[in-house]
Every structure is written in structure tokens, then in C-alpha cells.
Copies of this chain bind each other. A is one copy, B any other.
Amino acid sequence: MTTAGSAREPKYQRIAGALRRDIAEGRYAPGERLPGENDLMAEHAVARMTARQALAVLQAEGLAEARKGAGVFVREFEPIRRRGIQRLSPEQWGSGRSVWDADIAERDLAVEVIAVSEVSGDEVPSAVVNILGTAEVWLRRRRFVLDGKPVMLSVSYFPAALVAGTPITETDTGPGGAYARLAERGHAPEHFREEIRSRMPTADEALRLKLAAGTPVMLIWRTAFSAEGTAVEVNEMMLDAASYVLEYDFEG
């Protein structure tokens, strides 16, 4: 017999299904090691590639995670709760606290400012130009690392005319962050729009967020508008979907 044989379901799916059930029913706890390729080959009398395929299914579902030279392990999941609306209230950034402080409490956060630079023309994504109404912008590229793991990549775009000469063009934006600086200049953000997509990351994105296989990213595009309805910031965020729960509270 060189192929699937009598059963309708492929062998690797049967094996994967058995392991999935074992995980769901707690016979393998989060963090615990699963049977390896050699174990599965012996137990189910299949070739190495078939055992690999079964383990690949679980990894693609985000249920398991391979560590080279060590084994395949059940994944753990403990997300950050990001309260989309409350976190952007003026009370948050009006008082010297950053917006981010609302998301995490008592965890080890590092915000790496990767780049702060003025760009224009073709270097600015056309979607950003359309929203801000100018191709002369400052961008702030940051990476947020929680307990040693990158959880979010962020690029903020500001119209150069609004932020030139302010600390927004420097690494440290000062107490309350960029929104407090915009408010001081009379461009306080009042209205927000967040657009959320989800997809699988490219190989490069997976590397920068240190994502395990089978982990999607969530993309949030936030536009902040001042009282006059002018867009004063566009922020493109890419989140590790395994690290986040997004929450929106609102009235009907």
C-alpha cells in the first residue's frame, strides 16, 4: 500500500485529529511536549514525511509550536486586552500617561523607537497621502516588546506642517506623548476611526514579530481627527494575534 488505503481521511489528518483531541481534553497541557516524529512513525507505522505532515497541521492551526532540536510543544496563550475606546480618552493622554499604559499593568514593557524621520513623495504610502491630504509627513516607527517578546509594530504618520519643531519629531515626545503635543498646538485628536484586518504574515513580518508558525497578524489602521475634522495622524499597527484581544465598548 503506497497511499491512503481504505480510510477516507488521510493518515496525517487522522493522526493530527487524535493529537488535537488529546490537547483539547487536556492530556497534553500548554507548554508540554507532544510525541515527536519518531514516536508517531513507530506508533502509527508511517513514513517520516507523513508524521511531519500531521505535526504541521497542528502548527498551522496555532495549536503547537516546534522547537528545533527539542520537540513539538503545545502552545500557550495569554493575551493583552486592548480597550480600543477608553484608552484614547483625553484623560489618558492629557495627564502625562501614555496611551499604552492603559493596556498593560505591571508587566515588563519596552517601547523601541526604531526611526523618526521626515519623508515625502513616493516614500509615503498613497493611502496615507489620501487621508492626510499631503505627502509631506513625519513618521515614527516603533516596536513594542512585552516581557521580551515583540507584540506590535507601529508606524505613525503626521502632517509635517502640524508637527515640525515639536517633540513629535524627536525620539522622546514628552509627557502624554504625541497626542498631548498635538493638543498643545490646537490640534487635539477628538474623533478616531480604527479599521481592523487579519491575515497571515509574510516570512519577514513573522521574523520581526518573532511569530510562531500558525499565528496570524491583526492590522489596525487608526486615523485621528481634530475637532475641525482634519486628519492629524494615521497609525498603522501590526499586532501578534496570539498576544492580543481587542475590545470596543460603545452605546447603541
Interface residues of chain A, those whose CB is within 8 Å of chain B, are: 13, 16-17, 20, 49, 57, 60-62, 79, 84-85, 88-90, 188-203, 214-216, 218, 224, 241-242, 244-252
For the complex, what is the distance from the CA of A200 to the CA of B85, rounded to whole Å? 26
Identical copies in the complex: 2
The answer to whether B189 and A214 touch across the interface, beta carbons within 8 angstroms, is: no
Contact of A193 among B192, B203, B242, B248 (CB under 8 A): B248
The answer to whether B60 and A202 touch across the interface, beta carbons within 8 angstroms, is: no
Within the complex, the shortest CB–CB distance from A8 to chain B, in Å, comes to 14
Contacts of A215 in B (CB 8 A): 199-200
Main secondary structure of the interface of A (DSSP, over half): mixed
The answer to whether A194 and B20 touch across the interface, beta carbons within 8 angstroms, is: no
Contacts of A16 in B (CB 8 A): 203
Contact of A216 among B192, B193, B199 (CB under 8 A): B199
Contact of A241 among B194, B198, B203, B244 (CB under 8 A): B198
Contacts of A84 in B (CB 8 A): 248, 250
Contacts of A79 in B (CB 8 A): 197
For the complex, what is the distance from the CA of A13 to the CA of B203, rounded to whole Å? 9
Q: Which residue from chain B places its CB closest to the CB of A250 in the assembled complex?
A: B85
The answer to whether B247 and A195 touch across the interface, beta carbons within 8 angstroms, is: yes
Within the complex, the shortest CB–CB distance from A216 to chain B, in Å, comes to 4
